[in-house]
A and B are shown apart, each in its own frame.
Chain A
Amino acid sequence: MSSTKHFMEISQEIIASEYHKKIKDAFEVFDHEANNTVDVREIGTIIRSLGCCPSEGELHDLIAEVEEEEPTGYIRFEKFLPVMTEVLLERRYRPIPEDTLLRAFEVLDPSKRGFLTKEELIKYMTEEGEPFSQEEMEEMLSAAIDPESNSIHYKDYIAMMVVDDS
């Protein structure tokens, strides 16, 4: 049994080291000064591009973990790496499967029309959950809304986004 445990530990090490390299690459994209720091406002993008899907609240908690005691506006790689590695190893903030996403849209469309109007989408996205900023709303509308019907046919929309994402 101890050898199995030992084997598991070594596998973890290998996996962790793989994660380290991935995290480093993602971090470096935003490390404009090449001094192992990134602007705290880019951390969300980095974390999400590594495959995680945290809510805004979860993101804030994560940032609090990696920030300096006296927040400088910058996050250092040395603090970010171990925290992010744990997140990946624990498979936290898993991405949302397609069907779950579909069901979420269907909750907002109780009469099962198959679409949401532009106004409805705006209302839900800017007033419910963790509301969008105006910029975010406009961006989503530009791709999601079918201009002829002024609505979002969410099944098609999801299908299109998912293809694009892979």
Chain B
Amino acid sequence: MSRRGALRLPPGPGSPGSQARFSIPAAAFRAAALIQRWYRRYVARLEMRRHCTWRIFQSIEYAGQQDQVKLHDFFSYLVEHFTPSSNHERDFLNRVFTEERFPQDAEMEKFSDYKSIEVPDNYTGPRLSFPLLPDHAAALVEAFRRKQQLHARYVLNLLHETRKHLEQLPNITRVSTCYSEEVTVCGDLHGQLDDLIFIFYKNGLPSPERAYVFNGDFVDRGKDSVEILMVLFAFMLVYPKEFHLNRGNHEDHMVNLRYGFTKEVMHKYKTHGKKILKTLQDVFCWLPLATLVDEKVLILHGGVSDMTDLELLAKLDRHKIVSTLRRKTRKENGKQATKEKATPPSGAGRPTPWFLPQTRSLPASPLRLGASGAPRAGRSSSIPCSCPADAKEPARRARRSVDLELDRCRRQAGLPVSPAQGEPLLCTPEADSEAEEPPEPTQEEWKQVVDILWSDPMTQDGCKANTIRGGGCYFGPNVTEQLLQKYNLQFLIRSHECKPEGYEFCHSRKVLTIFSASNYYEVGSNRGAYVKLGPALTPYIVQYQANEATHTLTMRQRISRVEEAALRSLREKLFAHSSDLLGEFKKHDADKTGFITLSDWAEAVESVLRLGLPWRMLRPQLVRSSTDNTLEYRSWLEDLAKEQLSHENIQSSLLETLYQNRSNLETIFRIIDSDHSGFISLDEFRQTWKLFSSHMNVDITDDCICDLARSIDFNKDGHIDINEFLEAFRLVEQSCPEGEASDCRQATSTTDGGCSKPGTH
């Protein structure tokens, strides 16, 4: 929000009050004007800093989302090019690529079987009994406020009941203000329980007179996603007619792998976490897609596209859309999966990872925001299927179905399902569909759902692919208008995007973005908000910031705090690319003086990081010492490194590489750790790293990895506790004060196999 000072001249002679005016000397007038002029410039500079800070956070966030696409590409690449050279490697690949089958009903019963779970006598947390009463739900909120944890048995019980309820709901929920006089709509919460508690405190608990709609993205990023889900589901069961949920793009087990929800569940529920995740995967698919208030106000998580078809959305089987990141498909090049039993071909069939789409329906590599000269991508968001229509295809499918038959026979016979000697055991979604699987979504259906969960509004007319997020589209005011007219609606409420004030109107107030996670990027970064609708459907916005500290800060102080956090992230990223940066800097320093101009610095940094940030604006905060417009780049890079490293033993280049790929590594770990045990073997780690680094052209030797592993001191039995590794990693990145470097190391070491908690030194 920029300052818009009104230009008001003092009244001329003869107008009321002008008598008084003449007695004030002109000097005072000029002095005031000068102060105002100075002050407006000061504020403008703060505004600029605030916008830059926002851009930093956003670009890092979206770059992370793009990474997800890159990760998919990496595994696609593996699938197409990697030939296992030994049984060992083949087995390993199989473990990674074995289809995580969508649970059948019978299996689901097994997964959500909570009755067999015993609650120990010394359990002091909240207990649930069904059917739930309003008091139970309120008590649950209170228990969570006091930092208690709900036992896995009750979690699964609640999820079981939730699923039963959700299955009966239509895709588009209808709400009427005739029954409940007011409807409160909340946006993204992202695991921030404090905000939910605050909303209930300020607005009141749900009741038959107080309807609520929660518009998706309940989980990921924040630390209390589980508790938020429990509260939301509990109230939904207690007030089924008044409490409504929409699915967001984060209600998706694939997205959760990357953005923290999976990790949170496994951390809080070590024994039963896997069951909980599996059940949740199902529950998420049953969440309704949108809510309609009085047939006039449409509430959905992301947005719309020029192809959005509410009738189609109302009719499709939403349960088929397991993840919006990937769409299973039966057909490849129009051919149906065959059931014939043929002899396996001699060539090794390419296994397809369960987390990859069969056809490459992911969008092409996202274009960088603001890439000059590069034309914006067109409306199409798929790249053509690149499956070769060669002879291997039918044979491969046949082979898979043979394997599956064998598999089924083994299971029926009660034998362990294990791969035959040297033969990979492969299950594929294609083969699954031959069982009692629900039919898969069509391309059209899938795209409709992706559009409403991922799209963002833009100010210009039109509709184009949302290349920043990698899914959905950008939709303009004309698209909104078209949709509202087609379905006789008044306006849209959506979420999906963080806004500094917690809300934002656009498209001539026809679209309202509502975002309920305050301080989303950092304490002080933004307010949260919710919107209330009465029978007149006039939106009434309430803002808040769930952190006392921010209230007493001035604008300047708030901006400084958030800015510092953004710059820290940015410096981390810069450090992660030190080698590349050095290379670029050298290019600008042909005479090898060791110096480059600040302008060259900005160019070099952008060409390496490709974040589309205004580097010249940010330069004063990132480059501390510079004399006469030049920079001694080596010492600048060294200073960066000093900030990040506190541990002499770890090679800086290795650390740098790991930093660069940290989120990818974490996601890869979680994919490898298919049983969610939290452990992968050192061997698997090495294998994966080898594959990954060769694909990414990263030069790391085996020994380096081993040294690193050892220096972070894993339990010596050859297993890596993923969480320990990553936590230790995070400990290293925090700069230790001088002289405490060795203490830091002590804190991360596990002496008797016990895990040390981070931050306990």
Contacts and interface: CB of A to CB of B under 8 A. Distances in A.
Interface of A: 18, 21-22, 25-26, 28-35, 41-42, 44-49, 52-57, 60, 95-96, 100-101, 103-105, 107-108, 124-125, 127-133, 135-136, 139-140, 142-143, 161, 164-165
Contact of A34 (B41, B48, B52, B370): B370
A139 B38 contact: no
Contacts of A52: 41
Closest 3 CB pairs of A and B: A129-B33, A48-B44, A129-B32
Given A25-B616, A33-B460, A107-B28, A41 B599 contact: no
Given A21-B599, A49-B48, A56-B7, A142 B555 contact: yes
Interface string B248-291: 00000000000000000000000000000000000000000000
16 contacts: A26-B48, A29-B614, A35-B460, A45-B2, A45-B3, A45-B48, A49-B44, A95-B41, A96-B38, A104-B32, A104-B35, A108-B35, A129-B35, A130-B5, A135-B3, A139-B555
Contacts of B55: 29
Interface string B555-576: 1100010000000000000000
Given A55-B37, A96-B38, A28 B614 contact: yes
Given A31-B370, A100-B34, A104-B35, A44 B42 contact: no
B31 A105 contact: yes
A55 B429 CA distance: 67
A140 B30 CA distance: 19
A164 B35 CA distance: 17
Contacts of A127: 10
B8 A29 contact: no
A139 B43 contact: yes
A136 B147 CA distance: 41
Interface in B602-625: 602, 612, 614-617
Contact of B32 (A18, A25, A41, A125): A125
Contact of B28 (A42, A53, A124): A124
A54 B370 CA distance: 29
Nearest to A121: B35
B45 A29 contact: no
B570 to A, nearest CB: 15
B28 A108 contact: yes
Nearest to A56: B7
Given A21-B616, A164-B556, A60 B48 contact: no
A45 B370 CA distance: 20
Contacts of B4: 41, 44, 133
Contact of A125 (B27, B35, B41): B35
A130 B42 CA distance: 16
A139 B559 CA distance: 13
Nearest to A164: B556
Nearest to B617: A25
B30 A129 contact: yes
A18 B599 contact: yes
Contacts of A53: 37-38, 41
Given A21-B599, A105-B31, 20 more contacts: A18-B599, A21-B602, A28-B612, A29-B51, A35-B460, A49-B47, A49-B48, A55-B33, A96-B37, A108-B31, A125-B36, A127-B10, A128-B24, A129-B35, A129-B36, A133-B6, A135-B3, A136-B3, A142-B554, A165-B45
Interface in B189-215: none
Contact of B40 (A25, A48, A60, A108): A48
Given A48-B44, A49-B45, A132-B5, A33 B31 contact: no
Interface string B37-78: 111111111011001100100000000000000000000000
A161 to B, nearest CB: 6
Nearest to B47: A45
Contacts of B32: 104, 108, 124-125, 128-129
Contacts of B369: 34
A130 B615 CA distance: 33
Nearest to A35: B460
A15 to B, nearest CB: 11
Contacts of B179: none
Contact of A101 (B6, B38, B458, B556): B38
A125 B33 CA distance: 8
A101 B617 contact: no
A151 B337 CA distance: 81
A22 B616 contact: yes
A50 B10 CA distance: 30
Contact of B5 (A29, A56, A101): A56
A146 to B, nearest CB: 13
Contact of A136 (B5, B28, B34, B614): B5
A75 to B, nearest CB: 13
B487 interface: no
Interface in B562-600: 599
B29 interface: yes
Contacts of B33: 55, 128-130
Contacts of A95: 38, 41
A140 B46 CA distance: 13
B459 interface: yes
A107 B617 contact: no
Given A25-B616, A25-B617, A104-B31, A131 B556 contact: no
Given A55-B33, A129-B36, A139-B43, A25 B5 contact: no
Given A21-B602, A35-B460, A125-B36, A28 B370 contact: yes
Contacts of A47: 44
Contacts of B31: 103-105, 107-108, 124, 129
Nearest to B460: A33
A30 B47 CA distance: 11
Nearest to B554: A143
Contact of A26 (B8, B37, B560, B617): B617
B307 to A, nearest CB: 21
Contacts of B7: 56-57, 60, 130
B458 A33 contact: yes
B476 to A, nearest CB: 10
A29 B617 contact: yes
B36 A143 contact: no
A49 B617 contact: yes
B614 A33 contact: no
A136 B3 CA distance: 7
Interface in B448-470: 458-460
